[in-house]
Structure 1
Amino acid sequence: MTDRRGAGTSCGGQKPENKILWRSLTLIFLLTLLGFVPVPQVAWAQNFVINSFDVEGNQRIESSTIIARTGIEPGQSVTAGELNDAYQRLLDSGVFETVELTPRGNTLVIAVEEYPTINQISVEGNRRVKDDVLLEAISSEPRRVFTPQVAEADADLIAEIYSSQGRVSATVIPRIIRRSDNRVDLVFEVAEGTTIEVERVSFVGNRAYSDRRLRRVLETKQANFLRTFISSDTFIADRIEFDKQVIRDFYLSRGYVDFRVNSANVEFTQERDAFFLVMNITEGQKFSFGQISTVSEIPGVDPAAYQDALKIRPGVTYTPSLVENSIARMERLGIKQGVDFLRVEPRVTRNARDLTLDVQFVLTKGPRIFVERIDIEGNTTTLDRVIRRQFDTVEGDPFNPREIRQAAERIRALGFFAVADVEPREGSSPSQVIVDVDVEEQPTGSLSLGGSYSVSDGFGVAIGLSESNFLGRGQTVGVSLSTAQDAEQYTLNFSEPYLLGRKLRFDLGLGLSTTNSSFASYDTETLFFRPQLSYAIGELSALRLRYNWDRSEMTQQDDEINGAVIASDIAQGERTTSSLGISYIYDSRLGGLNPNAGVLFEAGIDAAGLGGDNEFYKTTARGIAQTRVWNEEVVLRATLEVGALHWRGDDFSRTIDRFVLGPSVFRGFEPAGIGPRDLSNGQDDAIGGNYYWVARLESDFPLGLPEELGLRGGVFYDFGNLYNLNDVNTAGGDIVGEDGSIRHVIGVSVLWETPFGPLRFNFSHALKKEDFDKEQNFDLTVQARF
């Protein structure tokens, strides 16, 4: 028993003293071995006195520059930690790939390997985004030092550009190809991936409005079978943030003051090839305006005059824009009355019981702060005055923050700038403010190619070239060519929105128009010159002054026999018209009190006889009223158009001088399908009339089909009349319909919103018509732009 226990603990039969000797020799061997292992620089314990430097490996960077970068002076005593700091400073300079510091006696050897310079940069694999767009966005440039960190950041930036276009799976890898003389070619290899569509947009928490109605508000659209031609159904993260603001504005403008977006969740489908967008919202209650009052805290200012200037009334649906417009109206009144630094503070009181908001407008004195100057930067093409005229404030005026915000919105609305930031800051004293305007130009020219179809003119092509900021002056210049089977038009347009530096818009149109219609037995050619001035006379109203000069002629079509009236018109040859006109326009569809309803009214008169061959008065008027009902799902619209021609002088009027109605005015009939006709010489010529009126009642509504199809239904009822042939040479003619009669048409429509434009299919039936009318039971109108 004793022998076994001794054998198990003797370690090979060695005695204890031999065991101690063995362990001592092993320890000495290990210590000797460690003495030959190199110790990192950071472990140096002693100090070094550096009297000189030896720089190795540098090609472009001067040795003196490298030595200065270390921060070590000759004769300086440095510790290991200070050497490590010098090492880090050289690496942080971003121009060295490797750095090594080695003290040799009193000399510090600095061995570096410089990053190469970029010889050229290229992008491979990109088809959807052009090279110049990607290369302009990155920081790396030829003849600059290559650094991996910058190249990786540029790769991430390129991937973000693709992500902003819905290609969230795009990957970008930077690679280098080494060249001689320490140069590299930088190549960004792009795998574009596929676009990820938004398969479904849905809402949680909406009670007042359906998902279908809310989806029409959003910029993001659901994917449909035409996804190849549209991009609004592509997932873009920034667009989701914009949509959250849009849906918030939609509810606020309809009185839901407590509305909020709780979340906007985006999730992959199970196949991971599309997204679901779910917006969780809280609508709250709908509020209306309650009591509206005005009080003044400024001595000598009568609040009654400001109260009278208000347009909002109790019971109207509450919307912040009406409050903002009221404040602006009061401040303008204060300027007229010479009240400087007037501030209008709206104080809102909630009445939860009857769901109303009482608004008290308090007139107070704001701080005495003046605009010292307006500084504009970044406009390389646009002239300063184009931006400055968006401000109602000039240097030396009292500072009004609300007016500055509105000016910023007007600058952005110009469409000339990709970025437009307007920020006030303190000027040379606390009572002075400098308004900084920083803009970034963007292209303002456009080339458009469009297609059209109508029963009147057939298929056609439209080509347009326009520049909306001509020579940086804010002017618009455009040339357009429109050709169809039965009509052609060539026009040159020019617009100056601020004539003579005032809010006076000037428009000029010059062109040539020809027709060769299959619905008429004659051709026409008209050369025209039409300058026009427009200016606002109120928040929702404007006046338009115009001059029109045209030279027109009716000619006989080949192999056509004309009736007596048309033959008389053709015999008059070329005739010129020189007329002055004025129109009044009132439009509340966008700026009115009700966001779901609006009215457009336009009336004008033209007087010809200031030179030229023709003398007449022509009066026209049009009124449109529209509203949305049933949670804004159904649109109701009523339109009334009237016109009257009073011919003067000894000559007769021609058919092209009188009113001739087409399907765009009166549905259910061919172009010139109703009104007086000449049946002489075996013909059936429409000859127009001096008076007309047409009323149109229509509605469009959802069909219950998937919204992504873009289909809606409609019904309409049109009725009207075209009559009177005073001052018409009817000698030898067989005239019918001169006294006129009321026609009635009912119909249904299918409206299809396509990426090419809106298509409208009208199917109609005339309830009452004359035997000589030309009925048309189907009409298709297409206006496409692509």
Structure 2
Amino acid sequence: MKCTNDLRRGRKAISALTRTLSALLLICLFSFSFSVIASPASAQSYRFSSVSIEGNQRIEAGTILTYAGIARGQSVSAGELNDAYQRILASGLFEEVVINPRGSTLEIRVKEYPTISKINFEGNKKIKDEDLIGFIESAPRQVFNPAKAERDAATIIEAYAETGRSAARVTPRVIRRSDNRVDLVFEIFEGRKIEVQRISIVGNRAYSDRRLRRVLQSKQTGIFRALVNRDTFVEDRIEFDKQVLADFYAARGYVDFRVTGVNAELARERDTYFVTFNVQEGQQFRFGQITTISEINGVEAEEYQAALKIKPGVVYSPSLVENSIARMERLGIRQGHDFLRVEPRISRNDRDLTLDVEFVILRGPRIFVERIDIEGNTTTLDRVIRRQFDTVEGDPFNPREIRETAERIRALDFFTSADVDAREGSRPDQVVVDVDVEEKSTGTLSFGASYSTSGGIGVQVGFSERNFLGRGQRLSASVAAAADNINYNIDFVEPAFLGRDVAFGLSFSLLETDGDYALYDTTIGNFRPSLTFPVSENGRLSLSYSAGYKEMDNYTGASAVLTAESAVGGLFSSGVGYNYTYDTRRTGLNPNAGVLLSFGQDFYGLGGDSEYIKSSARAIAQTKVLNEEVTLRATLEGGALHFSSGQNSRAVDRFSGQIMRGFEPNGIGPVQSGEQLGGNFYAALKLDAEFPLGLPDEYGITAGAFYDMGAIWDVNNVAGGTPISSQGFKPRHVVGVAVIWQSPFGPLRFNFSHALQKEASDKEQQFDLTIQSEF
């Protein structure tokens, strides 16, 4: 029994020893195998005394060796050989690359990409070949690269997406030719435009969907969708619309407004989108306390506080704060305080929904403008862009002025894009201002047609260039002809005369009438140079000289006054004048209201045949009410002629146009023998209201109501004959309604009017239609 147990214990010991030895043997074998496998890879190296290159036809062998980065006699590892392979392949010149070490010789075999013989586009109709070729990187006589061709296809797809054809597909195809050449063909499926069927806004309470849709660049599908491109769905345009909405609300005091999301759902037919903007308006805030403090010795806060125009209770707007800061910093510059900065500190009062603004005057960092670099202007001269800067090289750097300059450059409307940035200069206290612009077309050739019930059908041909010869000058010329008249106009404006903020203008016009709509023929010519310059923040003054010629002849009527005036013949006039304009429609405290005031006089008698004074005045006030749905406008205007030295006015001098609705041109005023004479004085008050009709916005149809009151009176020529009626001030009163259609062919206005008070000799016009188009 004991022997049996010993035998069992011995067998167990032997079995355990056997397992241990087996494990040790496996470990040794694994370690040996690992060392055998790993050691050569880490230790193997190559040294080549020669390099053999095969397969290259256009690419020089030296170029391939340069990409490889291996020199003769250099010791390289297998990993370095792989790096050389990757570098040659990454050059984009070769379709295949093989590296094979054979003893002391390194063999490199390559297969070159073919050369592009020509590039064709197939299937494109909406974008022309010459436009597509400008989008892509590939070009004839270049090496064909499949990756580049795929990028080109993606670029073309993006170009179609920007036109609303987001379903476009582009496939690059290669046609093999002899001598390792290929034709690259882009097969294009343009697809249909995907339109925006409906734009909805969710979460808006202060402003209606209709009002908000008017500020968006995206538009809903209209009845003339083929003529309007903004009703197509473009993703980048949606992003722009989000910012437009934010700016719209911020300008009206909604500081918490945000767009929480935009949903663009594709219709089941996959041909239209339904776009929904989800917004949170928040509360409207107004200005609370407006204070100014100064942290600069010698700068009195009270003086800068007095320069502010915003007052407590006004609806808060970031632009008003920016304008106030700019006004205070300009005051600091005039007083010689360089590096003066104004920092607004805003405190929020949720209880009364006001924002207190504290303007802090402090000393900014001492940084100077080293230079201004301008790039991208191929047509526009550098000086046209530089004169938009109030800053020159060596001046203190003011970031706010640079931002304002960028806005002025964009406002020129000479460039598709204009970026103005500042970067560190050659020293930490200097900056370089970079201006990068991209030119766009600034000239137009227009052909127009018009129709009016009084003048019949007319045609117009015009040329206009807003950046003449790249000098920022404006040049326009037009010829308009109707059934009984022809009108020539040429205008030229140099906006920066002698490098100053002075506009020099030249104007020439010639009007000739001859036809069935008048009882006499006229020839009226005028040449007028002028200088216009600012005299205040909102005021501009224009000084001018005028030389004119007026003739009326071939009178066939019965009026003794007109007979005598026609017998005078042609008269020359020469005089000087001025005109002052005050306009707050863009710079006022209320973005929805503004006024335009204008007053001018011309003094004739500096030579010529006539001696008289012509005065004119106009005042326009406009505002939007009922959440900006209704536009109210009031216009008051008038004019006066005063002849001296015993001279009398003539019909070609007197006021006789359509000063108010409801009557034909030259349809009111003094009359003799049934014929209108015009008058030395006129005055008119026009009250307008424009409002939506509830029709879809895409129709572009709104309505209006108006009330006009006015008169033309006084004729100082008392030639013999029948008495002159309606000599005194006898105002006419007219009420009416209008339908306004922003058609694809131009604005159409249908006026339906009724005279509440008129004279027996007046020529009433109960319906008036005006059409004007450019194509």
TM-score, length-scaled by structure 1: 0.91
1:703-759: CA deviation from partner (whole Å, max 9, x where unpaired): 122222111111111111111112x14322442211241211111111111122221
CA contact (8 A) 1:457 1:517 kept: no
- Alpha-carbon offset, residue 315 of structure 1: 0.9
2:511 is aligned to 513
Q: Paired residue for 1:661, among 654, 657, 663?
A: 657
Question: Cα deviations across residues 104-139 of structure 1 (Å, max 9, x unaligned)?
Answer: 343332221101112222323222222222212221
**Amino acid of the structure 1 residue aligned with 2:491:** N
> What one-letter code is carried by the residue in structure 2 that aligns with 1:692?
Y
Q: 1:316 matched to which residue of 2?
A: 314
Let me know the Cα RMSD of the aligned residues.
1.9
Paired residues for 1:14-53 under 5 Å: 48-53=46-51
Amino acid at match of 1:593: L
* Alpha-carbon distance in 2 for matches of 1:43, 1:572: 113
**Equivalent in the alignment of 1:411:** 409
- Out of 125, 132, 135, which is 2:133 matched to? 135
SS of residue in 2 equivalent to 1:217:
coil
**Helix, strand or coil at the partner of 1:137:** coil
Q: 1:766 aligns with which of 755, 758, 766?
A: 755
1:763·1:777 contact (CA, 8 Å) conserved in 2? Answer: yes
Q: Does 2:261 correspond to 1:258?
A: no
Tell me, yes or no, if the aligned pair for 2:339 and 2:363 is still in contact at 8 Å: yes
Partner of 2:694: 704
Aligned to 1:747: 736
AA in 1 matched with 2:629 = E
**Mapped partners of 2:292, 2:541: distance in 1:** 32
Contact 2:204/2:280 (8 A) holds in 1: yes
Residue aligning to 1:581:
577
Question: Which residue number corresponds to residue 642 of structure 1?
Answer: 638
Which stretch of the first structure deviates more once superposed, 385-394 or 468-477? 468-477
Is contact 1:652-1:729 (8 Å) kept? no
Match 2:292 to one of 294, 297, 318: 294
- List per-residue Cα deviations over 1:378-436 (Å, max 9, x = no partner): 22222211111100011111110000111111112212222322111122222111111
Structure 2 residue 267 is the aligned partner of structure 1 residue 277: no
**Which is further off, 181-190 or 687-696?**
181-190
Give 1:576-615 correspondences, 5 Å limit.
576-615=572-611
Alignment of 1:615-634 (within 5 A): 615-634=611-630
Which residue in 1 is equivalent to 2:703?
Answer: 713
Q: Distance in 1 between matches of 2:78 and 2:338?
A: 70
CA distance in 2, matches of 1:391, 1:385: 10
Pairing 1:151–2:149 present = yes
- Structure 1 residues 327 and 518: CA distance shift in structure 2, 3 A: farther
Q: Which amino acid aligns with 2:117?
A: N
Query: Could you tell me how far apart the structure 2 residues matched to 1:416 and 1:704 are?
Result: 38
- Residue equivalent to 1:672: 666
Q: How does 1:151-550 map to 2 (within 5 A)?
A: 151-516=149-514, 518-550=516-548
CA distance in 2, matches of 1:523, 1:63: 87
Q: Map 1:4-19; keep pairs closer than 5 Å.
A: none
Of 398-407 and 737-746, more deviation after overlay is shown by 737-746
Quote the sequence identity (%).
Answer: 59
1:527-560 Cα offsets, whole Å, 9 max, x none, are 2211121111122211111222121211326xx4
Please state whether the residue corresponding to 1:157 is helix, strand or coil.
helix
Number of residue pairs aligned between Structure 1 and Structure 2: 736
SS at match of 1:570: helix
Any idea what SS the aligned residue of 2:248 has? helix
In structure 2, how many angstroms separate the alpha carbons of the residues matched to 1:345 and 1:129? Answer: 50
1:725 pairs with 2:721: no
* Residue type of the alignment partner of 2:150: E
* Equivalent-residue separation in structure 1 for 2:509 and 2:177 (angstroms): 60
What is the CA–CA distance in structure 2 between the aligned matches of 1:74 and 1:373, rounded to whole Å? 50
Letter in 1 for 2:640: A
Gaps of 5+ in 2: 1-39
Residues in 1 aligned to 2:599 and 2:584: alpha-carbon distance in whole angstroms? 15
Distance in 1 between residues matched to 2:730 and 2:458, nearest whole Å: 34
CA contact (8 A) 1:536 1:542 kept: yes
Query: Does structure 2 retain, via aligned residues, the 8 Å contact 1:296–1:364?
Result: yes
Matched AA of 1:706: P
CA distance in 1, matches of 2:660, 2:441: 41
Query: Quick check: 235-244 or 610-619, which moved more?
Result: 235-244
Give the letter for the 1:304 counterpart.
E
Runs of 4+ in 1 over 4 A off after TM superposition: 42-49, 76-80
Moved more, 741-750 or 43-52: 43-52
Shift of residue 79, structure 1, vs aligned partner: 4.6
Please, which runs of 5 or more residues in structure 1 have no aligned partner? 1-41
- Secondary structure, in 3 states, of the residue corresponding to 1:405? helix
Instruction: Give the CA deviation at 1:273.
Output: 0.4
Report which stretch shifted further, 546-555 or 686-695. 546-555
CA contact (8 A) 1:675 1:740 kept: no
Question: What CA distance in whole angstroms lies between the structure 1 residues aligned with 2:41 and 2:120?
Answer: 45
Contact 1:295/1:362 (8 A) holds in 2: yes
Shift of 1:519: 4.1
The structural deviation recorded for 1:257 is 0.9
Contact 1:563/1:685, CA 8 A, preserved across alignment: yes
1 CA distance for matches of 2:697 and 2:380?
42
Give the AA of the match of 2:687: L
Deviations 1:47-98 (A, max 9, x none): 5543322221110111232233223333445554443333222211100011
Structure 1 Cα separation of the partners of residues 454 and 528 of structure 2: 25
Matches of 1:628 and 1:703 in 2, distance apart? 16
1:424 is paired with a residue whose SS is strand
Match of 2:766 in 1: 777
In structure 1, what is the Cα distance between the partners aligned to 2:314 and 2:514? 53
CA contact (8 A) 1:635 1:701 kept: yes
CA contact (8 A) 1:45 1:80 kept: no
Q: Quick one: distance in 1 between partners of 2:712 and 2:720? A: 21
Tell me the CA shift for residue 204 of structure 1.
Answer: 0.8
Q: Secondary structure at the match of 2:418?
A: strand
**What is the identity, as a one-letter code, of the residue corresponding to 2:602?**
D
Match of 2:683 in 1: 693
In structure 2, what residue type is equivalent to 1:577? S
Contact kept? 2:649, 2:680, Cα under 8 Å: no
Partner of 2:58: 60
- Larger CA deviation: 642-651 vs 290-299: 642-651
Separation in structure 1 between the aligned mates of residue 735 and residue 634 of structure 2, nearest angstrom: 14
Determine whether 1:561 maps to 2:557: yes
